[in-house]
Structure 1
Amino acid sequence: MSLPLLPWFLAYFAGVLLSNPQEESLFPYALAACALVVAVWVKLHRSRFRVLHLFLLALLFTLGWVNVQSRNSSLPADHIWNYLQHDKRARVEGVIVDRPKQFPDKTRLLVSIRKINYGDGWFPISGTGQINLYGDPVDLKWGDRVRFPPIRLKRPLNFRNPGRFDFEKFMESEGVDVMGGTSQRKSLQVLGQEPLSRMDAALLTLRDHMSDLLKQSLSSDNRAMINGLLFGEKSGMSDEVLEAYKVTGMGHLLAVSGLHIGFVALIFLWVTNKVLFSLMWRFKREWAQLGYSQKGAAGGALLAVLFYMVLVGPKVSSIRAGILVMAILIVLWINRERQILNTLLLAAFLILIWNPGAVYQLSFQLSFSAVLSIVLALKWVAEPTDDPLERIGEIAWYKRWTVNDVPTKGWGNKLVDIIAASAFISLAAYIGTFPVMLCQFHHISLVSPLINILLVPLASIVIPACLMVLFLGILVPALSIALLTPLGWLAGLFIQVPVWVAKLPEMSVYLPSPPWPWLFGYVIFFAGMGYRFFLKRREARGKKLSVFGALYAPLGLGLLGLLLLAGLVAPRLLHSKTPQLHVWLLDVGQGESIFIEFPNGKNMLLDGGGFFKGALDVGARVVGSFLWSRGIGEIDYLGATHSDQDHIDGVESLVEKMKVEHFLNRRDGMSDRRFSALVSEVVVRGIPLVEFGPEHPLKIGEVVIKNLHPTEAYYRNESRVKKDRLNNDQSWVVMLEYRQFRILLTGDITEKAEQWLMGQGTDLRAQVLKSPHHGSKTSSSSEFLQEVAAQDVLISSGFANYFHHPHKRVLKRYRQAGARVWNTAQRGALHLSTDGQNYKIETHEHLSHW
């Protein structure tokens, strides 16, 4: 197949990649270099060499580069970012511009902010905010002009750790500039209604009408599932269902993507073609014979897709998927079905011209990798073989569905065709999206291809059917309600099947990411497989292959396949041990997590962070992502300094999701209820306990880890353990010693424990101090700092946190003690590395876009 767009697209693609590489590895550079080499190679081998071709390739590369750089435009003077004071609360006034989303513990509003007041008067502003009202549901609707009680507004901010999810870019794609929340709902004032644009008002009115129809005909669970399947709204779903979709790998059904829009296009194409063909055959038979019904059906499907995109709303992901599907429909309209790969290239080209940042967005990567792998796999399976029976038209049962002009007789054979098609397409999409899923989520469902065989064909019926029935409800509400009832029963299967499967053991695994060369090798492997397929077609036509094509290409692909398998099984196989001790103070917001890599290759995690009321699984989403992105699949030593939520919550999560070799335990009688529950879970999972106290130092290679506090004498004389919680002064205080280097990790202790340590004559001297209790005003006394005499102080705190950590007086004491201060709130993750004598500290503030 000729791909005339390929070299031009690759040149532009390389320019986009290199203009703003959002990865710390060399992968974007290697991929861009490979794209440029292939682009030049194709032009040199597919057409007469002309200098003009190289000039045009260079021009497209430059256009890709410039398109990205030109997007960094300045904000309008009244934009909310120019007025934000992150450490203060503000009165905010704005208009609700979308339907409120109800969650079990909150109502989420999308608000066009019009005014802001930090206590010095009201200022007119522009921008969009996502504001959560905590508590019971609130009776608000779109178009309400609302004045909120004082709210602390913040810009979306990434967790600035290597391997982080780009939350800032995600919220930007959702159209959100600031975020905030309040539980003071009684102080909220509704000032009246403000009309939205006619288009927005009509759309939201239609959505309200559809929501009313669903409320009248379906149970709350089935209604929430229909909303999830049709519009990508998850607000009404239970945590059990959402977790089941994560475990089974079916989350793609709950996010409007190319799959959903493709379902709508396919069903409308099929129905419209049947209707038009019947009408044409009756009244204008020559039109039917000329295939005009298919062209008309493609036009009708285009209108259905446009309507669905408008109904879903202006989401970047749905617009991007819509462009892809509409491009395919246009190809059908103009009878160019064989140009499907060129169509994909054209759609990708148009999307990256419109939004070049899409190349780093998950929805773009998943959509195109899935569609491309399905198209290539279909071409491979539909290719005639040397089987004599197939040559005379006897198509094998497993590939019968790929041939349009072979009629299928009997419902049994049709069912086999549906199962075969669903299994093949699911497996192709699974293989194509595997590296994206692995590197973005580090979570692979082992049952996804199987459950897709059942639910994806069912979704291809339920989604378009619900859309048609709800649209019918505008004209005949009673009929729509009657038809929604059986669709609700089908929607129940989308709840029951994933929940049941998710309860089975070992249905999914968390895997560490292989190194970036593995990703590059994966791309090269499948590109090579495509090239091998091309060579096989040439050979089938009687053309002799070169030695490279006949011998070296298959051998190279086989070797590369083995290397890919080895990289997947042992992602740190090539990771060389160095005489360096690495200590990471991770950016977990207002909390703490310390990861230690020892020179002998072992590792330790102390604390895992945690959010208030478990609003975010920091253990898996932040700490786990950091570990998995570094190819680390197991923790050798895991511990929690004490049982505060912002320290122990992530540890509880990681015990469930990662392999742990040893758990650091407290002495009997020196733990509270939550820590004891964690230890019980550890024992149930068969993880060995290692007692870690002042009498039991650890030695890992050359590194000595001493637990200095709390001692038995401290418990006996100063602070007894309460059953409900360990207090801050009962935090572990740990000294790491490596040759001549020492770092003191102090948990959340306050001045009381500091005084006790000094009174016991403990040797606290260290080059580096991890700030006690996030730099609170109750800790870091001048005497303690003088005793430690640290050159550098590391602080773990959240940006603009509620507690105002670190306190200004404490920062002043650090400066007076002559120490350099490093804070995760400003610098992101702090990485200390030392050879036992000298050390350096690296920061990661560049992992945020502001």
Structure 2
Amino acid sequence: MRTGMMALAVGLLAPVFMPALPPVGLLVVLPVVALMLLPFRSYPLACFLFGFTWACVGALWALNDRLPPRLDGETRWVEGRVVGLPQSSDGVVRFELADARSRHATLPSLMRLAWYAGPPVKSGERWRLAVKLKRPGGLLNPDAFDYEAWLLAQRIGATGTIKDGQRLTPARNAWRDSLRQRLLAVDAQGREGALAALVLGDGSGLSREDWQTLQDTGTVHLLVISGQHIGLLAAVVYLLVAGLARYGLWPLRWPWLPWACGLAFAAALGYGLLAGFDVPVQRACVMVALVLLWRLRFRHLGAWWPLLLAFNGVLLLDPLASLRPGFWLSFAAVAVLILTFGGRLGAWRWWQTWTRAQWLIAIGLCPVLLALSLPISVSGPLANLLAVPWVSLVVLPPALLGTLLLPVPYVGEGLLWLAGGLIDWLFIGLALIAGQWPAWIPAAIPFWALAVGGLGAVLLLLPRGVPLRPLGWPLMLLLVLPPREPIEEGQADIWQLDVGQGLAILIRTRHHAVLYDAGPRVGDFDLGERVVLPALRKLNVQKLDLMLLSHADADHAGGARAVRRGLPVARIVSGDPLNLPAELNAAACESGEQWQWDGVQFQLWQWSDADDSNQRSCVLQIEANGERLLLTGDIDTHAERVLLGSPLAVPTQWLQSPHHGSRSSSSMALLNALQAQSVLISRGHGNAFGHPHPTVLARYRKQGLRIYDSAEQGAIHLQLGRFKPPWTMRQQRRFWRDPPAPGH
């Protein structure tokens, strides 16, 4: 039985690791083959085929419910119902629209929309909206969060920006949203958003500083409802009924055990529904149900069996749940606890159990966090040692009881006021810890090192005396100090990061690193902080010898401050330093400046008579083993004409498309002089500027240039000096991604 369940789990997980899904015809045949295997008692293989087919069908169903390519970028009037909990921050209202309809077009069943400067939107309302529709997609960078996979896991078939709209009907049956509004309206000593996160699992009310504190201390699971909260509430209800029965306070005509199990599960399920029934909650509810069922039947239940059943149960309910990082962290944490406390001779004292559990969870989850490319909290064991009992035993009871008693004047609000103050004390303590030990974003490591380090973590989780257990420490050291392939002398390793409508290019030689532009910043949405800085750390950049900001526009220099805060920067140079923040202390670009690092030549150029910031862009030429790349910023045809009289006007294999391929750039004179073979374009998909312009693309094609576009291919990796084609992120095939667009 267990072998079959394990085979079913493998089958349910297999499609996630496949570059493409099998054809529909094969998925029709596989269940028939599985049924034919049952008389031969080949249960494991049959279970694997059933699980694999179910997961593939679920994935195909979600893929077929995405916006058709012909509607990508179109603006249409749609009608639909708001679902979930709408979020409002920085003047932007974001929500999900279900059952959307439009004339002469079939739309996905669920869409995620953004309304800039939009009116308040409530769950359950019906709206008629003018929406610019987009197919699901996101920025693709090395070892970064895959937004497209997340959208698929959420069954979101389209995103969009609202241009106009009108409310058709008011909210109906929106009890979660109404409860959230009540929680946000009470006086919780300034922690109303955190209270809503704890009670409803809605983190939209937490500030960026709060999220950073929780991430740095590894305590995100405490404020966004996790399985721990579900299990704790079920245990409290069960023990309450058992205690009443023990002291003769429970009605004798009601058998206490069925009632205890039933009420405990009802409490867990009710809290799960209150929290939106996400993956950690699903896992907890299934495991609570299994434990209570076995307890009701007075049967001993091992720890691994309910975990395996819960694992399969979640995947059967939602085959795409494994695309979410929370799925892996939730089950991995429980597995670590089972491995830690199972099979040991003798018992630890309570304080040993609590302290060791925190350190062993940190060890066990380290390989999982690295595999998911998530930050690792160095202070997590210490922070959770204090925060878990504080939240579970001190904060959660008044928060839930206050929510339940909100209809009672003064009582519910008083309890919520108390809970808010307790949460505030929690954040004060966590902020002190985070200030001393922020989260660690490690560099990406190869798969073999991750596997060896994971084996080391498993060894360290085993009881003392197990043979080879001490080898766990040197094996885990590979996770911290993995071997890296050095960049050869005379070559440059170059990444054009995918930052949407902006530019950020990293150039590394054997011992030096240069960042050309730092990505865009729009309001509080800083791509330097969210994309560029994590990418630099993942690429093992410890410091920048030079940050060259071509000019002062926000799409090129907006992320500079975040990068400087996160990494040591020896020198900052810009073509327009006077319009940059004074704190950057940027020096002016000196036309004609040259230097050499590790056998790679660098040279700067700037038009001295430029009239605007774009024309003042500082141009950088890089030459490695005779192969050249020209980074041009946002220069236009006037600056290009002057550039043709400079030493940089020589045959150049690689050209960064000036001004993202705008109509006012990339003149035929420039292309003829440079004789470029390939062009790099950095821009946002469906951007409002129409970059790259069709006439510019026509020029590129007329010259026979191979076009590499970040909007179509994600981040682009070029090894200058090898005269080889680059590697793009879309070449890393996943079944939820469209095939890569080849350079042409």
Into which bin does the TM-score normalised by the smaller protein fall? Answer: 0.7 to 0.9
Taking a change above 3 Å as real, the CA distance of residues 656 and 54 of structure 1, as seen in their structure-2 partners, is farther
Correspondence for 1:169:
149
Correspondence for 1:71:
58
Selected match of 1:705 from 602, 610, 613: 602
Correspondence for 1:606:
516
Correspondence for 1:453:
385
Whole-angstrom distance in 1 between the partners of 2:411 and 2:463 = 55
Correspondence for 1:844:
729
Matches for 1:357-368 after TM superposition, within 5 Å? 357-368=320-331
1:256 aligns with 2:187: no
1:155 aligns with 2:125: no
1:153 counterpart SS class: strand
Whole-angstrom distance in 1 between the partners of 2:218 and 2:470 = 29
Selected match of 2:621 from 719, 735, 753: 735
Selected match of 2:559 from 639, 645, 650: 650
Matches for 1:679-758 after TM superposition, within 5 Å? 679=585, 693-707=590-604, 709-710=605-606, 714-715=607-608, 717-719=609-611, 727-758=613-644
How much has 1:305 moved relative to structure 2?
A: 0.8
Selected match of 1:522 from 453, 468, 472: 453
How much has 1:479 moved relative to structure 2?
A: 3.5
Selected match of 2:549 from 640, 644, 654: 640
Selected match of 1:488 from 397, 414, 420: 420
Q: Deviations over 1:791-840 (max 9, x none)?
A: 1111111111111110001111111222222211112222223544x321
Taking a change above 3 Å as real, the CA distance of residues 336 and 636 of structure 1, as seen in their structure-2 partners, is farther
**Equivalent residue letter for 1:375:** I
Q: Deviations over 1:454-509 (max 9, x none)?
A: 221122133344324323445x455433433323332332333333443x344433
How much has 1:665 moved relative to structure 2?
A: 2.6
Whole-angstrom distance in 1 between the partners of 2:43 and 2:122 = 53
* Higher helix fraction (1 or 2): 1
How much has 1:219 moved relative to structure 2?
A: 3.6
Taking a change above 3 Å as real, the CA distance of residues 69 and 784 of structure 1, as seen in their structure-2 partners, is same
Whole-angstrom distance in 1 between the partners of 2:458 and 2:212 = 35
Q: Deviations over 1:346-387 (max 9, x none)?
A: 22233234434433421111111111212222236x632xxx
- Are the counterparts in 1 of residues 443 and 540 from structure 2 also a CA contact under 8 Å? yes
Matches for 1:291-306 after TM superposition, within 5 Å? 293=256, 296-306=259-269
How much has 1:13 moved relative to structure 2?
A: 4.3
1:674 aligns with 2:584: no
How much has 1:181 moved relative to structure 2?
A: 3.2
**Equivalent residue letter for 2:328:** Q
Q: Deviations over 1:13-32 (max 9, x none)?
A: 444554441699xxxxxxxx
Correspondence for 1:35:
none
Correspondence for 1:593:
504
1:510 counterpart SS class: coil
Q: Deviations over 1:404-423 (max 9, x none)?
A: xxxxxxxxxxxxx5xx5543
Whole-angstrom distance in 1 between the partners of 2:143 and 2:382 = 30
How much has 1:738 moved relative to structure 2?
A: 1.5
Correspondence for 2:24:
none
Matches for 1:437-516 after TM superposition, within 5 Å? 437-461=369-393, 462-473=395-406, 476-502=408-434, 504-516=435-447
Taking a change above 3 Å as real, the CA distance of residues 75 and 757 of structure 1, as seen in their structure-2 partners, is same
Whole-angstrom distance in 2 between the partners of 1:493 and 1:315 = 28
Taking a change above 3 Å as real, the CA distance of residues 454 and 569 of structure 1, as seen in their structure-2 partners, is closer
Taking a change above 3 Å as real, the CA distance of residues 113 and 786 of structure 1, as seen in their structure-2 partners, is farther
- Are the counterparts in 2 of residues 108 and 131 from structure 1 also a CA contact under 8 Å? yes
The count of residues paired between Structure 1 and Structure 2 equals 717
Correspondence for 2:67:
81
Identity of aligned residues (%): 27
1:322 aligns with 2:291: no
Q: Deviations over 1:288-329 (max 9, x none)?
A: xxxx75664333211101111222224344323432343344
Selected match of 1:266 from 232, 235, 255: 235
Q: Deviations over 1:526-547 (max 9, x none)?
A: 44456666xx5xxxxxxxxxxx
- Are the counterparts in 1 of residues 492 and 507 from structure 2 also a CA contact under 8 Å? yes
Q: Deviations over 1:32-76 (max 9, x none)?
A: xxxxxxxxxxxxxxxxxxx99994444444444333333343579
How much has 1:790 moved relative to structure 2?
A: 0.7
Taking a change above 3 Å as real, the CA distance of residues 98 and 158 of structure 1, as seen in their structure-2 partners, is closer
In structure 1, runs of 5+ residues without a counterpart are: 25-50, 196-200, 385-394, 402-416, 537-548, 681-688, 720-725
Whole-angstrom distance in 2 between the partners of 1:194 and 1:520 = 50
Q: Deviations over 1:118-154 (max 9, x none)?
A: xxx6656452222233337x34433322223x43222
How much has 1:439 moved relative to structure 2?
A: 4.2
- Are the counterparts in 1 of residues 136 and 151 from structure 2 also a CA contact under 8 Å? yes
- Are the counterparts in 1 of residues 677 and 704 from structure 2 also a CA contact under 8 Å? yes
How much has 1:573 moved relative to structure 2?
A: 4.4
How much has 1:770 moved relative to structure 2?
A: 1.2
TM-score scaled by length of structure 1 = 0.77
Correspondence for 1:132:
114
Taking a change above 3 Å as real, the CA distance of residues 613 and 159 of structure 1, as seen in their structure-2 partners, is same
- Are the counterparts in 2 of residues 525 and 561 from structure 1 also a CA contact under 8 Å? yes
Selected match of 1:188 from 149, 162, 165: 165
- Greater Cα radius of gyration, structure 1 or 2: 1
Taking a change above 3 Å as real, the CA distance of residues 267 and 18 of structure 1, as seen in their structure-2 partners, is same
Taking a change above 3 Å as real, the CA distance of residues 80 and 831 of structure 1, as seen in their structure-2 partners, is closer
1:514 counterpart SS class: coil
Whole-angstrom distance in 1 between the partners of 2:459 and 2:388 = 30
**Equivalent residue letter for 1:452:** N
In structure 2, runs of 5+ residues without a counterpart are: 21-37, 739-744
Q: Deviations over 1:726-768 (max 9, x none)?
A: 7111112111111221121111111121011124464232012
**Equivalent residue letter for 1:705:** F
1:609 counterpart SS class: coil
Correspondence for 2:356:
424
TM-score scaled by length of structure 2 = 0.87
How much has 1:426 moved relative to structure 2?
A: 2.7
Taking a change above 3 Å as real, the CA distance of residues 113 and 104 of structure 1, as seen in their structure-2 partners, is same
Whole-angstrom distance in 1 between the partners of 2:234 and 2:545 = 51
Matches for 1:254-403 after TM superposition, within 5 Å? 254-279=223-248, 283=252, 293=256, 296-336=259-299, 339-379=302-342, 383-384=345-346, 399-401=348-350
- Are the counterparts in 1 of residues 85 and 176 from structure 2 also a CA contact under 8 Å? no
How much has 1:772 moved relative to structure 2?
A: 0.5
Correspondence for 1:563:
475
Whole-angstrom distance in 2 between the partners of 1:422 and 1:500 = 22
**Equivalent residue letter for 2:263:** G
Taking a change above 3 Å as real, the CA distance of residues 339 and 578 of structure 1, as seen in their structure-2 partners, is farther
Whole-angstrom distance in 2 between the partners of 1:192 and 1:308 = 29
Correspondence for 1:411:
none
1:798 aligns with 2:684: yes
Correspondence for 2:203:
234
- Are the counterparts in 2 of residues 769 and 793 from structure 1 also a CA contact under 8 Å? yes
- Are the counterparts in 2 of residues 263 and 464 from structure 1 also a CA contact under 8 Å? no
- Are the counterparts in 2 of residues 737 and 743 from structure 1 also a CA contact under 8 Å? yes
Whole-angstrom distance in 2 between the partners of 1:518 and 1:571 = 7
Whole-angstrom distance in 2 between the partners of 1:774 and 1:800 = 13
1:832 counterpart SS class: strand
Q: Deviations over 1:159-199 (max 9, x none)?
A: 222312121222233343222334x6xx532223475xxxx
Taking a change above 3 Å as real, the CA distance of residues 522 and 310 of structure 1, as seen in their structure-2 partners, is same
- Are the counterparts in 2 of residues 331 and 339 from structure 1 also a CA contact under 8 Å? no
How much has 1:783 moved relative to structure 2?
A: 1.0
2:580 counterpart SS class: helix
**Equivalent residue letter for 2:505:** I
